[in-house]
Structure 1
Amino acid sequence: MKQVIDLNIKGNFIEKYKSGYPLISKDSLANPNALTDEGSIIHLKDNNNQFIAKGYYGKQNKGLGWVLTQKQGEKIDFTFFKTKILTAINKRQSYYKDEKTNAFRVFNGEGDGIGGLTIDYFDGYYVISWYSEGIYTFKEQVIRVLDELGDYQTIYEKKRFDTKGKYIDDDDFVKGVRGEFPIIVKENGMTFAVYLNDGAMVGVFLDQRDVRKAIRDRYAKDKNVLNTFSYTGAFSIAAALGGAEKTTSVDLAKRSRSKTIEQFSVNGIDFDQQDIIVMDVFDYFKYAKRKNLKFDLVVLDPPSFARSKKRTFSTAKDYPSLIKDTIEITENDGVIIASTNNATFGMKKFKKFIKEAFSEMNVKYKILEEFSLPTDFQVDRDFPQGNYLKVLVVKKLG
């Protein structure tokens, strides 16, 4: 039996929670010290001790837990989890039936009604990500729902929490038949090698699916393409399959090279005809300027925060300077695909970054397209921060 804790909401936050805001923050609580064990059920109450909403206690970098229901009588039990997960899966039926795509998100946290929990599907394999010890206490109910659904090979999990909010690197296998990795998944006809048993990141970011398709279908043909912060080279694969003249992938991580070679290989692309460079991206910009290298298409998808021996990078303060560096090595009438997954600011501010950079470089530009999360990444309308992905396709006008 779960412990139930009554928490009083400060007056200026009451209407926010009554209107459906899902994240339980420390600032909103009059008595946060009442919280003890993660996984406890929380009852949010107003100044008159009247019920507002019900959720659970689970510490993650965003807050102290999530609202699950505004119905006082609704139990947070197996039936609750089954209803939420089945509803989410029913919304994704078009993905299950798509012959060209078999990797997608099945359940997207608060967007599907349970913050702190995501479930991804990779061609018969489920990957559950737990973002707090609190949500992890509901593991049995979530696994049971997937068991009742059946029709899966294996369940893996990612515990994205510890005392510092980092990933817990232990055996990710939960049940089923252990996979032999990599498994090869399809996305809009492209193929990617993924490793579900190898740390927090599996080899491809599913939230960029629409952007990769756009690169392949609309922007890559006959272009000289630079993919920065390239990870396993997924954008480079999309560009090469779209008829790029050449791709250059740059990432600081040493294993990015072998991972990118693998992704080219599973798509039948000769990786020897592409450039795969292990280097700090900022050093590469300096190198490209010295060598007078120019690109027709540049992809910028940096981590929100990164630290190397030489420098610290934060998208919130450093993105404009990154764009300025990029403008210098982009051909006139070339295209920059600027992306960020930083949830602390919205698309309006991101567009300001672009405007600021081009203005300081005295270069004109035009935004051709913009992207946010794909449809399988369901977003809660009362929690716009959940729609974290911002991508702008920007043409440098010559």
Structure 2
Amino acid sequence: MNKIILNKGKDKAAWQLHPWVFSGAIQQKVGKIKSGEVVAVYNFDDEFIAYGVYNNGSRVAVRLLEWNPANEINENWWRLRVQKAVNNRKHLLKADNDTVRLIFAEADFLPGLIADKYADFISIQVHAAGVEQVKSIIVDELVNLLSPKGIYERSDLKSREHEGLPDTNGLLWGENPPEFVDIVENGIHYKVNIVDGQKSGFYCDQRENRYLTAQYVKGKRVLDCFCYSGGFTLNAFREGANEVVSVDSSALAIETLKSNVIHNKFDASKHTAIQSDVNKYLRSLGEQGEKFDVIVLDPPKYAPSRSTLEKASRAYKDLNRRGLLLLESGGLLATFSCSGAMDIDTFKQVIAWAALDAGKEIQFIRQFTQPEDHPVRASFPEGEYLKGLLVRVL
């Protein structure tokens, strides 16, 4: 087998089961190693550490898979890993919830692979060259385990550039998904566009947070920002919100949301859907003197890396300041960050600064995180990306 030898003193993280070996940690490559091939990783003293998949064009040069030298990385290994990931989530699939993340990359010891189940269809994303090599095995095992109608790939990801992989979208198995797949989450129906929607089609990582936030909205006026297809909006209506204003910059998202409101037989006369830049719209609401009882801020990733954290912090602060200005005493702000580079303590500090600038006194009354189908592997804390706060204005 091809062999990677690490520089002296650069093996600690690998011994501690962290799945990434950076290119700067490599002292020597033994053999003609091609991207996507399995390698054995050794320390400077020639002691075996783990098996992994190599990529010569990525900063993450080796994605580690297996630390037991007796467990060969073959077809059966990949199938067993897929089986374990899926079986750990089967209890989440119920009559009132047919949507779940089946595989969450490094957290499931399958770095570079995402798989989401949307009713009878599966959407996958491949981020790494190693998974690209065994994609047919992954698909076959998912078919064996779940018998979907179809499996569709949405690998149009910037991360693939670093892996030397082109974007690729298309059907991998079975039948093409319809324009909209009807899914159920928390008993609410959504029309999901797997082919052209954001990410793999839907944000199932907010499933629990949508439900929890909605417990505070009965009889209230709610503003749902970055609403996408209406997760927070629809949960709010189900729990008795008196009025909901939903805002997103995407025309497709707004049209899908309107359809979802009607599809669930909620009162469309209580709903206003606005296609607009959220910051611009919040500014205009402030100028008009509008007020809300509950506001949801669920923006896209502002900090894709630690190098962008300072700039992102300013963006989060300004966004939340504008939101807080629309709340009076007793009002609630449910605010989120999906930036892995921003930890919860930093996020709290940013919200505190936003409150200070807005002239508001606040309390943090609940913390939100990602659900159990997005687990955080103990040796890979970077997998904890979603955090949120429920803030009360005093």
Paired AA for residue 188 in structure 1:
N
Which residue of structure 1 lines up, in the alignment, with residue 354 of structure 2?
A: 357
Structure 2 unpaired stretches of 5+: 304-309
Which piece of structure 1 moves more, 166-175 or 116-125? 166-175
Which residue of structure 1 lines up, in the alignment, with residue 133 of structure 2?
A: 137
Instruction: Say yes or no: does 1:248 pair with 2:245.
Output: yes
Q: 1:206 aligns with which of 198, 204, 207?
A: 204
Which residue of structure 2 lines up, in the alignment, with residue 294 of structure 1?
A: 291
Instruction: Say yes or no: does 1:177 pair with 2:191.
Output: no
1:80 positional shift: 0.6
Q: 2:53 aligns with which of 56, 67, 70?
A: 56
Q: 1:116 aligns with which of 86, 109, 112?
A: 112
CA 1:358–1:11: 2 relative to 1, 3 Å: farther
Q: Secondary structure at 1:172's aligned position in 2? A: strand
Which residue of structure 1 lines up, in the alignment, with residue 213 of structure 2?
A: 215
Which piece of structure 1 moves more, 238-247 or 176-185? 176-185
Can you list the C-alpha shifts for 1:36-83, whole angstroms capped at 9, x where unaligned? Answer: 632111322211122111111258988334210112232211111111
Q: 2:186 aligns with which of 181, 185, 188?
A: 188
TM-score of the superposed pair, with normalisation by structure 2: 0.90
In 1: Cα distance, 2:280 partner to 2:323 partner: 12
In 2: Cα distance, 1:352 partner to 1:167 partner: 38
Q: Secondary structure at 1:83's aligned position in 2? A: helix
Q: Residue 108 of structure 1 contacts residue 379 of structure 1 at CA under 8 Å; is this kept in 2?
A: no
1:388 positional shift: 0.6
In 2: Cα distance, 1:334 partner to 1:19 partner: 45
Q: 1:388 aligns with which of 375, 385, 390?
A: 385
In 1: Cα distance, 2:133 partner to 2:169 partner: 18
Q: Residue 8 of structure 2 contacts residue 43 of structure 2 at CA under 8 Å; is this kept in 1?
A: yes
Paired AA for residue 275 in structure 1:
T
Paired AA for residue 185 in structure 2:
E
Which residue of structure 2 lines up, in the alignment, with residue 149 of structure 1?
A: 145
Instruction: Say yes or no: does 1:373 pair with 2:370.
Output: yes
CA 1:199–1:282: 2 relative to 1, 3 Å: closer
Q: Residue 236 of structure 1 contacts residue 247 of structure 1 at CA under 8 Å; is this kept in 2?
A: yes
Instruction: Say yes or no: does 1:305 pair with 2:335.
Output: no
Corresponding pairs, count: 386
Matches within 5 A, 1:294-333: 294-305=291-302, 315-333=312-330
1:393 positional shift: 0.8
Q: Residue 169 of structure 1 contacts residue 199 of structure 1 at CA under 8 Å; is this kept in 2?
A: no
CA 1:170–1:39: 2 relative to 1, 3 Å: closer
Instruction: Say yes or no: does 1:341 pair with 2:341.
Output: no
Paired AA for residue 90 in structure 2:
Q
In 2: Cα distance, 1:25 partner to 1:283 partner: 41
Which residue of structure 2 lines up, in the alignment, with residue 197 of structure 1?
A: 195
Q: Residue 121 of structure 2 contacts residue 150 of structure 2 at CA under 8 Å; is this kept in 1?
A: yes
Can you list the C-alpha shifts for 1:339-395, whole angstroms capped at 9, x where unaligned? Answer: 011011211211111222223434221112112110111221111110110011111
1:166 positional shift: 11
CA 1:112–1:288: 2 relative to 1, 3 Å: same
Q: Residue 215 of structure 1 contacts residue 242 of structure 1 at CA under 8 Å; is this kept in 2?
A: no
1:23 positional shift: 1.9
Which piece of structure 1 moves more, 190-199 or 285-294? 190-199
Q: Residue 203 of structure 1 contacts residue 232 of structure 1 at CA under 8 Å; is this kept in 2?
A: no
RMSD (CA atoms): 2.6
Q: Residue 296 of structure 1 contacts residue 330 of structure 1 at CA under 8 Å; is this kept in 2?
A: yes
Q: Secondary structure at 1:261's aligned position in 2? A: helix
CA 1:166–1:36: 2 relative to 1, 3 Å: closer
Structure 1 unpaired stretches of 5+: 307-312
Q: Residue 66 of structure 1 contacts residue 114 of structure 1 at CA under 8 Å; is this kept in 2?
A: no
Q: 2:11 aligns with which of 7, 11, 14?
A: 14
Which piece of structure 1 moves more, 192-201 or 165-174? 165-174
In 2: Cα distance, 1:152 partner to 1:132 partner: 24
CA 1:215–1:32: 2 relative to 1, 3 Å: farther
Paired AA for residue 152 in structure 1:
P
Instruction: Say yes or no: does 1:106 pair with 2:109.
Output: no
Q: Residue 77 of structure 1 contacts residue 141 of structure 1 at CA under 8 Å; is this kept in 2?
A: no
Matches within 5 A, 1:155-166: 155-161=151-157, 162-163=160-161
1:13 positional shift: 2.9
Can you list the C-alpha shifts for 1:2-59, whole angstroms capped at 9, x where unaligned? Answer: xx54223233431211011112223433358999632111322211122111111258
Q: Residue 205 of structure 2 contacts residue 374 of structure 2 at CA under 8 Å; is this kept in 1?
A: yes
In 2: Cα distance, 1:282 partner to 1:159 partner: 30
Q: 1:126 aligns with which of 122, 126, 140?
A: 122
In 1: Cα distance, 2:240 partner to 2:62 partner: 46
Can you list the C-alpha shifts for 1:216-241, whole angstroms capped at 9, x where unaligned? Answer: 3x111111111112222221111122
TM-score of the superposed pair, with normalisation by structure 1: 0.89
In 1: Cα distance, 2:235 partner to 2:39 partner: 45
1:170 positional shift: 5.1
